[in-house]
Homo-oligomer: A and B are copies of this chain.
Amino acid sequence: MADEARIEHGLARINEPDPFVARAAQAELDGKTKPRGSLGRLERLAVQLAAIAGTTTPEPLRAVIVVAAADHGYAEEGVSAYPQEVTHQMLANFANGGAAVTVLARELGADVVVVDAGVSVPVEDERIRALRIGPGTANATHGPAMTRAQAARAIAAGLELADELATRGATALVLGEMGIGNTTAASALHAELLGVAAAEVCGPGTGLDADGVRRKVAVVERALAANSPVGPDPIDALARLGGFEIAFLAGVALGGAANRVAVVLDGFIVCAAALVAALLSPVAPAYFVAAHVSTEPGHALGLQALGLEPLLDLDLRLGEGSGGALALPLLRAARSILVEMATFATAGVTDAGR
Contacts and interface: CB of A to CB of B under 8 A. Distances in A.
Interface stretch (A98-106, A124-132, A300-308): A98-106
Contacts of A350: 82-83, 85-86, 89
Given A89-B347, A103-B341, 20 more contacts: A32-B100, A33-B93, A33-B99, A36-B207, A40-B314, A83-B350, A85-B350, A89-B348, A92-B347, A92-B348, A96-B347, A98-B341, A98-B347, A100-B337, A107-B333, A107-B336, A313-B313, A325-B333, A326-B329, A326-B330
Interface stretch (A169-177, A244-252, A315-323): A315-323
A67 to B, nearest CB: 13
Contacts of A83: 350, 352
Contact count band on A: 35 or more
Nearest to A317: B38
Interface of A: 32-36, 38-42, 81-83, 85-86, 89-90, 92-93, 96, 98-100, 103-104, 106-108, 206-207, 295, 311-318, 322, 325-326, 328-330, 332-333, 336-337, 340-342, 346-350, 352-353
A330 B85 CA distance: 31
A108 B196 CA distance: 41
Q: How many copies does the complex hold?
A: 2
A277 to B, nearest CB: 25
A150 B311 CA distance: 41
B39 A333 contact: no
A93 B116 CA distance: 50
Contact of A318 (B39, B318, B336): B39
Contacts of A103: 336-337, 340-341
A93 B40 contact: no
Ordered nearest first, which 5 A-B pairs have the shortest CB separation? A98-B342, A40-B315, A329-B329, A41-B314, A107-B336
Given A207-B36, A326-B333, A332-B108, A314 B314 contact: no
Contact of A40 (B39, B86, B317, B349): B317
A78 B200 CA distance: 50
A315 B36 CA distance: 12
Given A35-B317, A99-B33, A42 B332 contact: no
A325 B349 CA distance: 22
Nearest to A36: B207
A295 B83 CA distance: 44
B332 A86 contact: no
Nearest to A40: B315
A74 B168 CA distance: 55
A32 B322 CA distance: 14
A106 B337 CA distance: 11
Nearest to A327: B329
A326 B104 contact: no
Contacts of A99: 33-34, 341-342, 347
A102 B325 CA distance: 23
Contacts of A89: 347-350
